[in-house]
Amino acid sequence: MYRAAGAPAQSASVPVVRSLRRPPPQATGVSFMNNQKQQKPTLSGQRFKTRKRDEKERFDPTQFQDCIIQGLTETGTDLEAVAKFLDASGAKLDYRRYAETLFDILVAGGMLAPGGTLADDMMRTDVCVFAAQEDLETMQAFAQVFNKLIRRYKYLEKGFEDEVKKLLLFLKGFSESERNKLAMLTGVLLANGTLNASILNSLYNENLVKEGVSAAFAVKLFKSWINEKDINAVAASLRKVSMDNRLMELFPANKQSVEHFTKYFTEAGLKELSEYVRNQQTIGARKELQKELQEQMSRGDPFKDIILYVKEEMKKNNIPEPVVIGIVWSSVMSTVEWNKKEELVAEQAIKHLKQYSPLLAAFTTQGQSELTLLLKIQEYCYDNIHFMKAFQKIVVLFYKAEVLSEEPILKWYKDAHVAKGKSVFLEQMKKFVEWLKNAEEESESEAEEGD
């Protein structure tokens, strides 16, 4: 072949080849991400198979209820068998999750709707508290069932307390017989420590109190509680949860008086509870009296106003005079800061007590009140060592101020004193007592001569 002039020469050894394939597209950020999504991570390793007996079955409340009710129906009314069934079932049923359902069934026979009614479309059982006989012995047997269950499954303790609080709020939804059974059961459970007395807070619900449900329920509850223990044990439990001064709140505000409480519970056969509440009220009133008395003295209120106030409180709270004189003495002695030197404190005490003699004299109108004051003086002088030598001087002062009279002083000296500092104080009083005796004999002689 010939080439044209001026055309470039081609190499014969390197042929020119044109590719018909399109070049591959450039990788973009989007396609890269898509590739990343498609590449899912895989887990590798050995898989352990759980043995079936280690698995805990899960139920919804309805299925749980059906299982419990079926088991209770099979055990019948034998409460020993019921306790064994509940013990065994806790290993496979989720008591922790369905505690409320469990206790609803054991008390009411089925799941409770709000207000305390049983749901119509749910299964029920007669093996429950509400279907049992209404007597204390039966409720004691049911209490053992609950006690064993909660001892076995300790985590149920909180759930059971919450359940009882709820049941107490539902009292209006139960029949009178059901309320009585629940009250007896609760009393037994409080006595054996399965329940804490704080659950009684539910009884202070305004509607329950207003309609008299709380007070009626409390009668049955306290009867069974005191039957299991005694009033001292009951009082200790109430004090522990600061409920010992709240029992009158079981009645509406217009009936919250010691008289009404005492009458109601005494007529119901709970005289010991009535007396306990009366004593608590008196103790509270005494503390309040002493607090107010000290405030009046520190303000320097006139004695006539203080005396009037104290006498009104005595009448209102039925506080006897011998108790009041002890309160007045303590208040008088707490209003001053005493000198630490023994030789000066006697003079300070005489000056202070002379000022308050008219107040003390207003509450020593009875021989027993005078004797009580003498014992208070003896105890105070013994407990405060700087006053040991001041005892006789205080007694003589009160004799001259007509706070104390001959007969109580002689009785104290003869056999009514206490052991505290006895030998010291009797020795101090020896000469004064002899003088009193002689004066008494002279008075008798003069009286005889006059006749």
pLDDT of 304-318, one tens digit each? 999 999 999 998 888
User: Cβ–Cβ contacts within 10 Å for residue 333, how many?
Assistant: 18
Give CATH for domain 320-329+336-445.
Answer: 1.25.40.180
pTM exceeds 0.85, yes or no:
no
Cβ-based neighbours of 380, under 8 Å, separated by 6 or more = 329, 333, 387
The predicted pLDDT at position 44 comes to 54
Give the confidence band of 451 by pLDDT, cuts at 50, 70, 90: low
pLDDT per residue over 204-235, tens digit each? 999 999 999 999 999 999 999 999 999 999 99
Across 82-108, average pLDDT: 94
| Alpha helix stretches (DSSP H) within 90-202 | 99-108, 136-152, 156-169, 176-191
Residue 114 is predicted with a pLDDT of: 87
Q: Cβ(99)–Cβ(150) under 8 Å?
A: no
In whole angstroms, give the CA distance from residue 159 to residue 199: 12
The residues with which 118 forms a beta bridge, in sequence order, are: 112
Tokens of 43: 């887990």
Paired tokens of 335? 């209003």
**Statement: residue 145 has pLDDT above 70:** yes
Mean pLDDT of the chain: 86
Give the range among 66-75, 140-149, 356-365, 438-447 with minimum mean pLDDT. Answer: 438-447
The pLDDT value given to residue 76: 86
Report residue 4's pLDDT band, with 50, 70 and 90 as the boundaries.
Answer: very low
For the residues 90-104, what does the mean pLDDT come to? 93
